[in-house]
Structure 1
Amino acid sequence: MTDKPSAAAPAPAAKETAAPRFEVKLIAPHTHARKDYVAGDTIKVTARQRQFLVEAGVIAEAK
């Protein structure tokens, strides 16, 4: 038996660890991922981004 540490398990694929995305409809103009959007457009965001957009008045609060 050796004193070498065993190989670590491979890291999970990026898709497995990516934050879930939510589709939201804009009620005001907004720039997302360096692209300009107008009211009525939909974008996909994380839960944290969704909360920020609600607080900023860019999307309506989810029901």
Structure 2
Amino acid sequence: NQELYHVLITVDRLILQIVLMKIQGYSTHEIARYLKITEKAVYRRMDRLKEKVKKIFD
């Protein structure tokens, strides 16, 4: 799907890194510690990506 591809290539690098780490099995706590951001920031960024992807499939 080209729209999904477009969303994935336009998200900021931090969101992309979070997604890749989640796929690799890292916990939210581990991701936050590694990226030096709060766990809440990890959840917020994931929520933003989910909303963008959701718009494609609605």
* Higher strand fraction (1 or 2): 1
Fold match by TM threshold 0.5? no
TM-score computed with the length of structure 2 as normaliser: 0.29
TM-score computed with the length of structure 1 as normaliser: 0.27
Higher relative contact order (CA 8 A, sep 6+): 2
Q: Which protein is bigger by CA-based radius of gyration?
A: 1
